Amino acid sequence: MMSYCKAGDKPTVRYKFGTGNEKTFKSPYAPIEVITKNTPVDATSNYNQQGFRIGLSSINAGNIGLIITDYKFVTAQGILCFIWKACGEYSWGTGSSCPAGSIELAAGCPAHLVTAYSASFYEFNTNVKCPSPNVDKSSIEVRYNGLTIFQDQGNGTVTFDVQCSNCPDGQCECKTSEYPGYCCSDCNSLTGEIATIKSAVKVLNSKGSVSHV
């Protein structure tokens, strides 16, 4: 995991998903870590973009077969529950708010839920996929001291760059009396100008044309 910037900096993270528009996040903290994944933000290690079939046995629902992209177990009202994302879904919703003993996709419960699953019947078939491929989805997360301070997700592969100072890479920050209190100059050009001035001063010194007070 790579760290960016140093304490006291105000990092700017510029990123975009696929061919989408560039977005910006300005962090008030530094150093930061940037993590990107080719999965939605809210996904488990079980996530599979193309989907897979799972079969299980539930006390309240009997034997069922599902084609899903992700799943996890939660405890709802004291009952161990199995919730999942169907093809095309990216959010879990609020599975713990579903009434115990039900399978539903209702207005008050956007997550699917099966209560009291049986571990004795619990199988996968990765040859069965979703009817049509899901849109590629990726995510970006910014952390400070191990804590997540920002996250976003979108369609397509995410790309990003981090700017640690007020000026982008390759430009030097110069203080000014005008708003916003600084300007950005090309570092290479500035270095060349300084070298030219130093050379001119040396020539004048060698000719005795420069007086020092």
pLDDT of res. 104: 38
pLDDT of res. 210: 52
Residue 32 lies in a domain: yes
Beta pairing partners, 161: 14
pLDDT of res. 190: 65
CA–CA separation, 87 vs 94, rounded Å?
18
Residue 45 lies in a domain: no
Pair 205, 198: CB distance under 8 Å: no
Residue 213 lies in a domain: no
CA–CA separation, 164 vs 31, rounded Å?
9
Tell me which residue has tokens 């207005």. 107
pLDDT of res. 70: 85
Count of the separate structural domains present in the chain:
3
Is residue 10 located within the same domain as residue 72? no
Is residue 18 located within the same domain as residue 79? no
Question: Which residue ranges in the chain fall short of pLDDT 70?
Answer: 1, 58-62, 75-81, 92-122, 132-135, 169, 180, 190-193, 195, 199-201, 203-213
- Which amino acid, one-letter code, is at 6? K
pTM: 0.52
pLDDT of res. 162: 92
Residue 158 lies in a domain: yes
Q: Structure tokens of 166?
A: 């007020």
Is residue 9 located within the same domain as residue 70? no
CA–CA separation, 54 vs 125, rounded Å?
6
Closest residue by Cα to residue 87 from 117, 55, 48, 115: 48
Expressed as residue numbers, the domain containing 151 is: 3-38+136-163
Residue 47 lies in a domain: no
Pair 94, 88: CB distance under 8 Å: no
Is residue 79 located within the same domain as residue 17? no
Q: List for the chain the helix, strand, coil content (%; round to 5).
A: 10, 45, 45
124-146 pLDDT per residue, tens = 777 888 776 656 788 999 999 98
pLDDT of res. 208: 61
